[in-house]
Structure 1
Amino acid sequence: MKRLTLVTCLLAAQGCGYLPALPGSEPQLYEPTIATLEPVVRAAPAREVASLSLLELADRYREVLAVAEDPAQRLQVRRRLADLELLAREAEDIEDGAPVSYAEVIAAYEELLQDYPDTEGSDQLMYQMARAYDMDGSNPESVALMERLSIAHPGSEHLAEAEFRKGEAYFSDGDYRRAEQAYAQVAGAAGAEDYRASSLYMLGWSRFKLDRKEAAVDAFTESLDTLLASGDEFEALPRGDREMAADCFRVMAVIFDGGGGATAVAESFAQRGPRSYDHRVYLALGELYLEQERYQDSADTFAGFAAAKPFSPVAHEFDWRVIGAYESGGFPEAVIAAKASYAARYDTEGAYWQKAEDEQRSIMGDRLRQYIDELARHNHALAQGEEDDAAAAPLYHAAADYYGDYIRSFPRDEQVPDLALLMAEARQAGGDYRRAIEDYQWMAYRYSEHPQASEAAYAAILAFDQLTPVEDDDAAALVASQLQFAKTFPVDDRAAPVLARAVSGLLEAEEYALAADNATVLINWQPAPGSELLVPAWLQLGHARFELAHYDEAEAAYFRALALMSDEDVRRAKTTEQLAAAIYRQGEIAATAGDHLAAADHYARIVAVAPNSSVRVNAQYDAANSYRIAGDLNQANQLLLDFRRRYPQHALSAGVGAVLVQNYETLGDWRGAAEELDRLGETAVDADEKREAQYLAADYYLREGAIDTAIERYRTYAHAWPQPMGPRMEAMLTLAGLYQDQGDVSKRHYWLEAMAAAHEQAGGNATDRSRYLAASSMTEIADAHYATFVELRLAHPLEKSLARKRDALDDTVTAYERVNSYGLQEYGTRATYRLGQVYRQFSADLMNSERPDGLDALALEQYELLLEEQAWPFEEKAIAIHEANAKRAWDGLYDEWIALSFSALGDLMPARWGKQEARVAVSREIR
């Protein structure tokens, strides 16, 4: 069941709940109903059923009920039927929007409760019946049922809801004492988590109505603890919960206002313990005072929190509200003092700022900009209006300090140059000439493009004349200031070239940081287009940044230099090489750090921006390798294919194919891998590499489903690579299987024969696997010959049919003898048995052959004697072969083919072999 809260119900489109008003007005009543809860549906085994409407399903249950005789079954069907009727009414109510009567559903549940008063789950029946009453608009009856449920079923899962609804009814009737009892029971009940926050909230209101303020604060605090259990996540709460929490804060503010204000709040949290949301209580109280135009009380409340918790994440907000309270009340001096306090407390170098999050700093920063600027200008204006120099000096110093605070706090602010000039002027006006010189120089040379920068620099030079006493370093400092003025604000043609030569000297002295700084200054002068100084300045900056290992900045500098060069500039080629080197170093750093995708992107950029550089070859290969490591195999493959096409003779190209095969394998691109293996097979010098590539390519074509190509590759391999034996045998086995799949018996037999021949010709290279495959293959071929032999009939003219029969016999015998030659029992006993049967069959076929027409009795007798003479040697041979097979049992070997030989001997020589007096041990061992 989903969680039900009062405020959630209030704010939901069809929800409801209480949101009591503050004292002075009655709380607005929103009646929650059971209809807002989801019905309890018992889980049923998952199975596919026909799609039926609720009413159709109810009709089916009525049909079952009409024939059901078992009481338990009838109860179950009636309960399910009542639930379906309730669901159907709900669906109709939602879809049509017209009033729907639940009387029949209520009656059904009432009958169930009457007929089965003590049945298990009667609390569920009461609960469903209460829902029906509630949907029918009969709230009193619904509540009465909940009261029955509470009494009759104290352990029911619906008990918490029953008590909660009782509390709502009592509160609505103004019976706050009984409401308090009901809500307290829900709040303390186990398993009532869904109602805890709402019940505590209403418990607080019940106590508030009973004028039990301290107890009300306890309840509101517990409600807030429940709502904000994970911390002060007020804004993240659902809208209903957020409104409930806000109302808790408002009511608590009213209570504390009547009990001592901010002091009472502090004492309350000291007694109850700190909370993550305690600042919201102060906030509610302070805003209450503002509404009442009690500005000092509001300011004191806000300041009280900031003083009590100076490092709270929201302390700065409360000090800001202090300023707002004074501004609302029209207290200008208090406003200035509060802003000064704010600026000191939340200084960007202070402890609070250092601990603050970025969002807090952003808010405080905006306010500090405003307040520090106002404080500086306020003191400056006061100093300028003061006629007594002695009295004005401290004001000038204060103004200068505030200007300095602003600049220090917000060095990138657009006002900084103007404020720096004002700071220097204030120091000079206050008699602090040395610091004024520093400030003038800082402003002038830090913001040399500012319209007043040259004036500031000149003012610094003039201020040297006011220094008393003069110190030893002042003269050198004055010269440095003049040189800096000439460099930053050139008045003749020698200034810029002198600085350019200085940068060159710094590079030669390996003072790269200073060289970079001064090269930047030279660039910032922005000489006229076509100036001979600008390109060298960018190049110098690039060299300095490169040596400092700031390769990204070096890259940017080289780009700027190239942009200024013409296509014919002789410096382009070298600069492009330096650019490529800077990018390549960035790739190396990324690769070392394990960021291979970033490394790949860097290397790939060289291909784009410096395609003719000397490092382009390595960069492209490294880019492909880095993309491969990073997992972007498609990008890696594109680069590798392009690399091999561009640099076919490069040493790295030789390994591209193997890498591509790996990548294609990982991608499952079997055709791509196979085609690459074809290429490797064609170009490989080493025979084993060529052979392995051809074999693997055939396998990958097979995986791809390119059967014809796979057959061609396996056939080529089998013919071209007689050794090693194993792969060739497997290739021929695969070919035999593929031809079998295609129904091509002739080609399958060809490769079966080839496997047998390969084993027989292998000599010392033969293996157990090759022997097994040869025996299996030749057995299938022999069986085919045997089938042909059996099918041939001896008919007139006997000479011709007998010749064909003898040829078939010879082929069959030769094949089975080859099987026997492999020495595998699994196939040898079978072959021996079949050999015996071949001769036996031939003998029988001779005897059963067609007799010539026109023979008289004597001639026919002589003809049959002749046949017997011809047939008997074959039968004798059959007996000998079967006996040889049967005698294997004496060596401990026995299988179905030996058993068949025994059976054949029983037919051929019943007197000798018709009985078996001893049981022979069976062995399945293959020898």
Structure 2
Amino acid sequence: MKRLRILLLPLSLFCSASYGQESFSVELGQDGETIADMRPVFLKFESRPLPAISPAEVARRYQRLFKKADEPSVRVDALNRLANIRDRSGQDIGFTPEEETDMYRQAIDSYETILRRGGHSGPMDELLYQMAKAHALIGQNDASVKRLQQLVGQYPNSPLVAEARFRVAESAFADGRYAEAEAEYRKLVDGEGVVGDLKNKARYMLGWSLFKQGPQAWERAGQRFVTVLDEAIPSTSSLNQIPESSVDSIDDTLRILALMASRRGGAETLMGWLEPEASRPWTPLVFDRLADLYAVQNNSEASVVANRAFVSNFPKHPQRAGFMSQVVDVWSAAGRPVKARDAMADYVALFNDQAEYAGLDDGYRTKWREFSRFLADFYYTQGDDKKGSRVENYRAAATYYEGLARRSDEGGEFYRLAGDAWLQAAAYPAALKNFQVAAYELPGYDYAADAGWAAVALIRAGARGEAVSSEFNPDLADLSVETDRFVAQYGADNRAPELLAYLANRWLESGNNDLALQYAVQAVDHSKAAPETRYAGWLVTAQVHQNTAEYSLAEGAWREALALASSDSATLTMEQDAPELRQQVATAIYRQGEQAAEAGKPAIAVAHFQRVETVLPGSEVAIKGRFDAANTLLRASDWQPAINELNRFRADYPTHDLASDIGEKLVLAYTSSSQPIRAARELIDIADNQSTQSEAAGGDALTYRLRAAELFHAGEAFDQRNAVYADYLATSPIAADAEDHIRMQTMRHRLAESGTDPAQWRTKLVSAELESDWHSTQTLQWAARGSLAMGAEAAAEFGGVELSMPLDESLARKQLAMENAQTHFRNAESLGGAEVLPESVYRRAELHRIMARDLMASTAPDDLNELEQMQYTMLLEEEAYPFEERAIALHSENHQSIATSGFNVWIEKSLEVLAKLHPGRYDRALRWMSAAAQGESDGV
């Protein structure tokens, strides 16, 4: 496991020792590690420069002096000189181990001699110290300790006391007398005048002494070790300035603290020892050792707890990233992938904030990105696993990709991956945002166009209703905005033309012709548009122009599409569309004809209508074009060309539905071009072609015939007209309204005037008028004149009846004839009113006058005598007189109507008759005056 500080030894180098033996180490100047292996260094009484001869030669001379001298003080001084030479020169002075041990024994003897004599010239505390050291060097530890205790007891103020105490404590510790060692070390730690390295070592060993006494003393041991570390590493900067000689002891202190904590309460115990100021420069080191110790013991859970405890207790510490990273390492080493992923997630979350992330070292930033990428890829892969929560996995992947994107040189790719993950999770707004950032906000991203296309595809799916949520409901306008952005940035992309064509079609479907045309033109003009894309663009262009009635432009677009559909590059679908495209071209031409016709340009309209047939001969639109060409000529009153076109159309398409209207149109053309008889014959043909199977059809046929009759009448083809009238009236039609009555009366009148048997038609005319509830001035006049004519005929018949014997019989016949004539005249008066009254009155008066005349002129019977004949004549006069009087009265009545009706020929005739019948009154010259001026009375 990675160490937090490189100055510390790896755990693997000391773990085995910690369980095999609990050793310790100290260094006192140039001494050995323990009293037993101290080097034979003696007190330096003075410091002199080396002579200008070989150190080996000088040493050889002092060796010889040591061997030959008998004086203990000289021998001690010789050893001292040898030690100085070795220390100053760094060279071997030539003693073998056996010789060196022998020298130490001799030195001890010299020391003993000096002590017995009491004649030592130097300080005795130094002599005792040298003796203790010499005993230690030859393995006489008890003797060495006694001399040190003697030094402490006899010379308590000696500067060598502190080191002597340390050696005594060291000996007690080595012998397992930990309480004694504790007491001695504590004297050094608590005593005055003990400073520097020795005091630090005493603290260190005091802690060990407590530790060796068992768990009951670990609380105090922990506090002592904390003090040792506080002294050794007082500041953060001192972490990088630890002397090489102190590395092992510091590492050992950290290890033992971790060991004790692991056996008591773990991180909680550590925190107790660190209080009240838990955040020390070396705090991360001890937590790291604790976590490592658990890991080596294969206690992954405890190791993780220790790492997390540091982060929990020191949430702002700069080293918390390392501990969170170690949690991942612990779970990974333990083969716990789920736990490892959770730890990675915690690490990423802890430093997700930009400020937190910025505070990390480069290595830990790299670690953050590695964890994020691993988690993103993992959850994305898990998204397709049906066993898991698909949406949650993709959401997690998207979140990690987004975090990576903000903190990576490959931000574009991560934003695109995040967008894809959000898309899989149906979080469409987030997906769109990531795609857009990757596409448009990160210059240099190689796949930016793909990201932009993904944004377009997402909005397109939303507009189709395939990717819609409560927060994402784009419409066609949104797709247009995104398309414009994509084309502006990546216009050369091969996918752009298809997108433009698609959008053109959608706008066309929505009814926005302007936008449909805009995108269709872009699709057609795009340099990378495939034939099928250009084809789609032309289709939309054509349809837009069709919708906006720009049929000339539509024709051009349809022809472009048809050319593509007929080319070698056409797809099967395009080839199958070709017939429909021809139909569309024909329709566009036809519409141009309609426009020209509406604009009052018949010649152009006819040209367009007629050229439809060149595009799609025999088609419905071509047939309709032919038909409309003729209609256009009709509307333009170009009658003869219209007649020619109509006849040609009927000849070419006799069974077509449109041909059924040709007859009517020809009737119009013939009528308008003053060809009524041809128009009438056309109507007769129409009537002949009408089905007689239904009442409605029969009615239509009759209408056509009647219309034909009127045209025959206009063309003075009276025989043909009368034949139609006669056929119609022979069916005894009953007038349903005034119009019907007038029409039939007109027929009767015309037949009466020009047909055969006029009396019959006159009689029917008068009878129909008398029986009808409907009248018109003209029908009344016709009927009145008819009645007068019939009356005149009856009067003529009346006049032809002679009064002969027997008179009663002939008179009865004559009276009947008179009454018949009178009836006709009265009918005429009721029908014609004042207009026919003078004539009717005159004719009635004449019936009476003739009756009177004929009575008077009748022959008397032959068998009467003269008197009887005279009486008979008087009787006739009596019979004739009322008739004459009635005649005079009627003629007078006619005369009197001058005031209301004015003078006319019938009044004049009445006056002439009156002049004969009543000459005294009427047989005189008359002068008729014009009407008097206003205000004057009329006169004769």
TM-score (ref. length: structure 2): 0.43
TM-score (ref. length: structure 1): 0.43
